[in-house]
Amino acid sequence: MSASFERKLNNYAELLVRKGVNIRPGQRLHLTCPVEAAELGRRVADAAYRFGAKLVEVHWVDDAVTLSRFANAKAETFDEIPTARADAVIKGVARGDALLAIHAADPSLLKDQNPELVAKVQRMTQEYLQAYSASVMANKVNWCVASAAIGAWARQVFPEAPAGEQVARLWDAIFAATRADLDDPIAAWNQHVADLAARRAYLNERQFDALRYTGPGTDLTLGLPRNHVWMGGTGLAADGEEFIANLPTEEVFTLPHRERAEGTVASTRPLSYAGTLIDDFSLTFAGGKVVGLKARDGEDTLRRLVETDEGSARLGEVALVPHGSPISASGILFYNTLFDENASCHVAIGKAYPKCLDGGTEMSAGDLKAAGANHSLAHVDFMIGSDQLDIDGLSADGQSTPLMRAGEWA
Ligand code: ZN
Ligand code: ZN
């Protein structure tokens, strides 16, 4: 390990602890980490203890064991899912613990496995975690999702690089995307979240009635509910302290009205979902609902996703990201939503964040639905931005304001 790699890895671990979850003195931290990224996990634990964590509980995860089950276990045994980690984390949220999840997986891990079993496990897991996901999405505690370079993922991102260099290349890309390669990443993030705060303040002030998207294969109008709230950068946990839920993050986002999507939207980057790549796809909406879909690759997986439940045929998030964001400028396709969504304007199939409606986290399910917020077990982002996308904000009186031109803020 070179001295510069050491420095960046330490920077990154400290960034996740101080700006990501922003650990509070005396707080417990639940750290989910792939075994292949153990070196990062240990440094995160170091940083967490140095900055006041009372206890770091590590939940190690392993792609190889996940794959082993699909490859070796009998189909009739798939009526169970692993619950030990979920139970610990559910208990942790109830107690006010911080959550840091390092997600790094082979994007094609399950591509040759029985899609029905893959979908079944996905669904059972979503159901098991539903109440927990809702409280995390409502920012009951400080939480952060980040990533780490691992072999199978690095091979997919840098197939041309020599085998011995792929993981190092992916680490460099992660450090650049998260600004962990700078001398003072904490200061850089303070500036960046201030910029995002100014952007969301403008959009909140304007309260557009709808957004109109035009680009190659895309002509889509998305209604925005009354009292929608644009978010981005930092979130506030129930204790009133800031944290950054995704590292990296470049987006400002809110929710579209569940019944007001009209037209067709084309993907501009592949989507890795349930261990399968869905590529070159489009969705057509009427009255907010998917009424048609096409995909060059993974159409079956896309259809299963849209058919997860009633709400998975509708949209739950709309996010604006300039095409010139650092991740987009790198030109790297990460096959990982955490990074790719920050390279591109995107929307999400499925559940809306109640916090994107004024007072939404206090509303009943019925009130949320009536206000236009979508509900689903699923929440899956896909990318629609490019240097050819234009977006206009439409006021209720029909006035149109350019928001983005050729993928950049107008
Ligand atoms: Zn997003
Ligand atoms: Zn999302």
CA of 1 to the centre of ligand 2 (A): 35
The verdict on residue 200 lying in a domain is no
pLDDT of the residue at 52: 97
- Check whether residue 156 and residue 221 sit in a common domain: no
User: pLDDT (tens digit, 9 = 90+) per residue, 262-280?
Assistant: 999 999 998 988 878 899 9
Kindly report the CATH number assigned to the domain that includes residue 151: 3.40.1830.10
Q: What's the total number of domains in the chain?
A: 2
User: pLDDT (tens digit, 9 = 90+) per residue, 126-139?
Assistant: 999 988 888 898 89
Question: Which ligand is closest to the CA of 320, given by its number?
Answer: 1
- Check whether residue 261 and residue 375 sit in a common domain: yes
Residue 255 CB neighbours (<10 A):
30
Mean pLDDT over residues 26-36, rounded? 97
The verdict on residue 327 lying in a domain is yes
Structure tokens, 208: 């557009």
The verdict on residue 320 lying in a domain is yes
- Check whether residue 153 and residue 253 sit in a common domain: no
pLDDT of the residue at 1: 67
CA of 79 to the centre of ligand 2 (A): 28
- Check whether residue 130 and residue 215 sit in a common domain: no
CA of 49 to the centre of ligand 2 (A): 30
Look up residue 84 and give its amino acid. A
Grade residue 397 by pLDDT with cuts at 50, 70 and 90: very high
Q: Which domain holds residue 102?
A: 3-177
Nearest residue to 345 via CA among 295, 393, 286, 391: 391
315-320 vs 261-266, strand pairing mode? unpaired
Answer for the pair 54, 184: CB distance below 8 angstroms, yes or no. no
| Distance in angstroms (rounded) separating the CA atoms of residues 256 and 350 | 11
| Distance in angstroms (rounded) separating the CA atoms of residues 150 and 156 | 10
| Distance in angstroms (rounded) separating the CA atoms of residues 233 and 192 | 8
The verdict on residue 306 lying in a domain is yes
pLDDT of the residue at 107: 82
CA of 252 to the centre of ligand 1 (A): 8
- Check whether residue 143 and residue 227 sit in a common domain: no
The verdict on residue 383 lying in a domain is yes
The verdict on residue 189 lying in a domain is no
55-61 vs 28-34, strand pairing mode? parallel
pLDDT of the residue at 335: 87
How does 124-143 read in b/e, with b if 16+ C-beta sit within 10 Å?
eebebbeebebbbbbbbbbb
- Check whether residue 173 and residue 214 sit in a common domain: no
Q: Can you list the positions of beta strands (E) in 3-107?
A: 28-34, 55-61, 98-102
- Check whether residue 173 and residue 212 sit in a common domain: no
- Check whether residue 137 and residue 11 sit in a common domain: yes
Mean pLDDT over residues 28-37, rounded? 97
CA of 154 to the centre of ligand 1 (A): 23
- Check whether residue 277 and residue 395 sit in a common domain: yes
CA of 72 to the centre of ligand 2 (A): 33
Q: Which residues surround ligand 1, an ion (CB under 5 A)?
A: 251, 253, 319, 341
Residue 310 CB neighbours (<10 A):
11
